[in-house]
Amino acid sequence: MTNAPRDAEARRAIAPVICYPNETLPVPDMSLYARARQAARKVGETLVPPRDARCFAVPAGHFFRITSVEGPQVGDLNLWNADDLIERFYSGKTRALHGTHLTTGERMWSSFPHLRPMATIVSDTLDWYGIDSFGGSVHDVIGTRCDPYTGNLLAGTQYHHCCHSNLTRALADHLGVSPDKAEAHVHDVLNVFMCTGFTRDTGQYFMKASPVRPGDYLEFFAEIDLLGGLSACPGGDCSAEHSSDTAPCHPLLVEVFAPIEGALDGWSRPGPNGYDRTHGWGQVG
Ligand SMILES: [Zn+2]
């Protein structure tokens, strides 16, 4: 190991600065959303079976709610622009903008060159949890999604019901394409209800039993026309292991609510990002 320089402690003692101060982000009109939600009516639901996934459509201006039913269960959520699957949820930039875990008022942002809000969280019954003494919190954008490749790398397994495979099958089903084609669209998720963090001593990604209980929900406002994919993770409440059939698993309920006429007056779908996309090409100097 390299010897520490003489001023090592002084260098460590420098206070951090926030990478992306987010005070200049466009602010969602939460009271408008709340009023629209109050009058909204339910127009559809999808029950996601344990260790499996389903796709669901949410038109712009509608709300969708993910609810724990029957028992504690974690869900892996993918979002796509319904008209262009290339625009999809960007977990890394969402993390940079909002932090490691999401809650009410925060948004799921889309990939470049769009970088616009796809969905805004309007309700979170686990918002009381905060950050526990292990550094754990709920609804993370720091994990990826459980997948069979990592399982094979670490344990030589061939397991087919990881969230990555569940989302691949659900999207293939929805689009009527081969799993091969669908797989390319599956991306890093919002880990709904999952309780995670990084250990302070080794910096490793950890999970612990989710505090979610039946009846808890996370609800979103769709800013653009969305296709969603939700997997009921084989890890169940993720208290012990994932990537196997060992953990008790439960379904997750997705419900969609439509606003009434005029409820969203004053709201408009976010347009494309304002960067001109020339990347300095052809500029002198
Ligand atoms: Zn999973």
Question: How many other CB atoms are there within 10 angstroms of residue 229's CB atom?
Answer: 29
C-beta separation of 216 from 68 below 8 A: yes
pLDDT of residue 175: 97
Give the per-residue pLDDT at 246: 85
Q: What's the pLDDT score for residue 282?
A: 82
**pLDDT score recorded for residue 122:** 98
Rounded to the nearest whole angstrom, what is the distance from the C-alpha of residue 76 to the centroid of ligand 1? 6
Distance 163 CA to ligand 1 centre (A): 4
Backbone angles phi, psi at 229, to 5 degrees: -135, 130
Domain ranges for the chain: 43-258
Average pLDDT along the chain: 96
Strand pairing class (63-68; 217-222): antiparallel
For position 285, what pLDDT does the model report?
A: 63
Bond before 113 cis per omega within 30 degrees: yes
| Cα(246) to centroid(ligand 1), Å | 13
In the predicted model, what is the mean pLDDT of residues 140-162? 95
Centre of ligand 1 to C-alpha 134, Å, is 21
Distance from the CA of 6 to the center of ligand 1, in angstroms?
45
Question: How far does the centroid of ligand 1 lie from the alpha carbon of residue 235, in Å?
Answer: 6
pLDDT at 126: 98
The rounded Å distance from CA 258 to ligand 1 centre is 29
> For the segment 29-86, what is each residue's pLDDT rounded down to a tens digit?
999 999 999 999 999 999 999 999 999 999 999 999 999 999 999 999 999 999 999 9
Residues 6+ apart with CB under 8 A from 246: 240
Asked if the model's pLDDT at residue 199 lies above 70, the reply is yes
pLDDT digit string, tens, across residues 175-186: 999 999 999 999
Distance 266 CA to ligand 1 centre (A): 38
Model confidence pLDDT, tens digit, residues 216-233:
999 999 999 999 999 999
pLDDT value at 245 more than 90 = no
Percent of the chain with pLDDT over 70: 99
Q: Which of 118-132, 191-205, 239-253 has the lowest mean pLDDT?
A: 239-253
Mean pLDDT of 8-24: 93
